[in-house]
Structure 1
């Protein structure tokens, strides 16, 4: 599944001042102000995704069940993809009272460090014991901030693996041998053929040149650990031969017309169901091609662009955190435990009501009904434990076993578990973020000549204080590494 990629608006998080100072001291043993943990309680939950018209109907059923099970009801509010970063951060910064919120990546770390989220370790050993027993330990360890866990990650694939995904109809039509595709450069003969013979197809759906590093923030920011060589030394990945080589290849492709002219600035998400592209990049999970083909309504096929690796970004892509403003965090943990361990509730929240949004077949598999597609189409990745979701009729029977094999096959990145505290270099990072936004998209899509603009990019980064940032990251990393021994 290639979820809509969540861009982390680092600058807005960095710019936010000290927040929720009054809330940061809130003890995770807090209970309802109106009568203790056993009193009825409404859980206020904010999560990501396009608001659905049938949410109230589905959650009427959810609340019948949770009221009976844990004496709580849930008010879920979705915030649309494009609005999420800004609106969720404003809500957190304002100290609004709520219970549960979706978070991920740098936003999760920064907000945990600022006291916006509660540490969950004690509750995970008590109210969340059944949840702790089913979730992959790598997810829990990889999401600790200063030794504590501040959110419950979705139990799914823990590894990151980018793949090249192709329109299979065109692969078959021109008899392309995908087994030969290992690198960005290997795409060239196919791109040329498509450009010359398919006038209605864009050879490359907009994507950025792949650079394989263990990034501290994200792949647009100039701080990362190498996977080979000195893996414990943080560097600027854009000041490497690999970056120049990849950007030069993308420049060649751009000049040949394999990408759209506005590739650097385009907001086009290249929806799968529009058959106007030949190759794109995406994040893989087992049997992803089946999921993408179902979404596209035509076949796609993928080959690896890298080996699967467990990085901070891959374990923190989907987390539910309990707000420091919650009046009954133990009850919220009870809900999270139920959501992640009870197949009925997990599928109800994810798929809707059986017989309305989906139908169940005699073999236990499911099929979507029109009411789900039109009125309750939720982003599964964001909601919790995948391993108790019902399989679709055309899903392989061993789907979840393959997920476990995929997780087991991945290697751990050098900095897995390291969480950088940006406070000492906040102003430098804000400036660097702006410079990266100015240069990176143009370089990574080949829209400008890297031999001219990559040196300018790196010069500006240095002038903005990159060396100071890298020195601070190295200092904190070395301290963290020593504490792991």
Structure 2
């Protein structure tokens, strides 16, 4: 029997009909279901070869096969929008952050709670409980988060060779303003080095949790450290304005690329043309960044926020969801359960075939072979549980213990678990997004004077319906907090 589900997806509010298949559509008992799995990442030459080995294993272990469909990074979002809007039958897809919440709220993903005590029992126990809390939207879990770092910690990343050359003590950098003497030294003595590396996506660190996921930050935020119950426009807060003024002074001093507001330069680590940059941290990140420099120089980090902050964006940064159009939801959960708890399967999907794509060393660590680098490079972060991955030869033995300690030290933002339902103010949010796209890049890269620019920005936000959205969001947040404290 088929039932129809009216579905309005994304800010376009498109009403569509998805077919949810019932018992008449189940595969006969003598057939092995093949799960269609949409995955982000550049399509790899050896994916079919690896999936052949995956299917040998999963058919034997849980009676299912998997067909991975890879969609390249820049195309994935639009492709999945088309797939979901069309009502195409598929089983599993990678999703993250704002898109995950939007699709979950609009009914595109299967609620998983009823499966997590049976088909997903081991996975439910293996993953950090905070991840499950963060994946809960309107009381239901709609996806399986990647078990990795749960907190977000921003850091300054410095070129350590230059730090040592000028005898700098980066541990004394406690604020954005504290960078000034270091930047001045580099500007005066290193003409080939841009003191602050960054492009049009650059933004300084703010002490706020953005409540709507968007490439350009929308104003609606709560303090990420103070539980005051208030939603504010972070752009015009006193501490934000101080940061923006400092940033503008840095731009005027030539500490940043003059074209930063429009630049698409990725500022690759293999080019020694920058002194400091802002990055998101995880344990052992220095090892990765040092490897990316190609041995030309090393890096050293200094935390911006003292402890990692757990936000919705940090716990929903990589999720595998089961489609509401799936004809095999139980089997899909069984596969995700195995992927997140079975060391052999997790490493096979991630690293490829032992002896072909990597080799295991005498101490149990691994080393990539040329075939992996050339033919099977997968997005590790997106695939599931990190804590059962094999370690590379240059990784510390206690890497996963460091991750667990990092998670233990992470502190929840007051906004964790609050997901705004925008259905009453979609038009206003679309208008506000356009205003932010117009004004924010210049503000967040320091290219304009915030004292002159902010009044114009705020006027445009007000004209776009800022007050209406703020009231609706505050009402929902108040209700969320009241329910949370019961």
Question: What TM-score do you get using the length of structure 2 for normalisation?
Answer: 0.93
The 5 Å alignment of 1:230-269 reads 231-269=228-266
Q: Corresponding residue for 1:22?
A: 18
Structure 2 SS opposite 1:110: helix
CA shift, 1:31, in A, is 8.4
The 8 Å contact of residues 134 and 416 in structure 2, kept in 1 or not, is answered as: yes
CA shift, 1:119, in A, is 0.2
Task: Measure the CA separation in 2 of the matches of 1:241 and 1:421.
Answer: 28
The 8 Å contact of residues 100 and 320 in structure 1, kept in 2 or not, is answered as: yes
Q: Corresponding residue for 2:401?
A: 401
Structure 2 SS opposite 1:364: coil
Could you list the structure 1 runs, at least 4 aligned residues long, displaced by more than 4 angstroms after superposition. Answer: 29-32
The 8 Å contact of residues 207 and 225 in structure 2, kept in 1 or not, is answered as: no
Q: Corresponding residue for 2:69?
A: 77
CA shift, 1:275, in A, is 2.4
Q: Corresponding residue for 2:108?
A: 116
Count of equivalent residues = 469
The 8 Å contact of residues 155 and 280 in structure 2, kept in 1 or not, is answered as: yes
Structure 1 SS opposite 2:424: helix
CA shift, 1:436, in A, is 0.8
Residue among 271, 276, 293 paired with 2:273: 276
Task: Measure the CA separation in 1 of the matches of 2:196 and 2:69.
Answer: 36
The 5 Å alignment of 1:198-347 reads 198-206=190-198, 207-218=202-213, 220-227=217-224, 231-298=228-295, 299-306=298-305, 307-347=307-347
Q: Corresponding residue for 2:87?
A: 95
Q: Corresponding residue for 2:348?
A: 348
The 5 Å alignment of 1:376-395 reads 376-395=376-395
Does the C-alpha gap of structure 1 residues 281 and 455 become closer, same or farther in structure 2, counting only changes over 3 Å?
Answer: same
Q: Corresponding residue for 1:33?
A: 26
CA shift, 1:51, in A, is 1.7
Please list the CA deviations of residues 303-357 of structure 1 after superposition, one character each: whole Å capped at 9, or x if unmatched: 1011311111111100000011111011111110111001111011111111121
For the pair 1:186 / 2:183, whether they are aligned, the reply is no
CA shift, 1:30, in A, is 6.0
CA shift, 1:46, in A, is 0.9
The 8 Å contact of residues 225 and 413 in structure 2, kept in 1 or not, is answered as: no
Q: Corresponding residue for 2:164?
A: 172
Give unpaired runs (5+ residues) of structure 2.
1-8
Task: Measure the CA separation in 1 of the matches of 2:378 and 2:279.
Answer: 20
Which range is displaced more, 271-280 or 375-384?
271-280
Question: What TM-score do you get using the length of structure 1 for normalisation?
Answer: 0.93
Give unpaired runs (5+ residues) of structure 1.
1-11
Does the C-alpha gap of structure 1 residues 159 and 31 become closer, same or farther in structure 2, counting only changes over 3 Å?
Answer: farther
Task: Measure the CA separation in 2 of the matches of 1:31 and 1:42.
Answer: 17
Structure 2 SS opposite 1:67: helix
Task: Measure the CA separation in 1 of the matches of 2:57 and 2:159.
Answer: 43
For the pair 1:56 / 2:55, whether they are aligned, the reply is no
The 8 Å contact of residues 47 and 101 in structure 1, kept in 2 or not, is answered as: yes
CA shift, 1:102, in A, is 0.8
The 8 Å contact of residues 224 and 415 in structure 2, kept in 1 or not, is answered as: no
Q: Corresponding residue for 1:361?
A: 361
Higher strand share: 2
Please give the root-mean-square deviation of Cα atoms over the aligned residues, in Å: 1.7
The 8 Å contact of residues 39 and 71 in structure 1, kept in 2 or not, is answered as: no
CA shift, 1:267, in A, is 2.1
Which range is displaced more, 209-218 or 361-370?
209-218
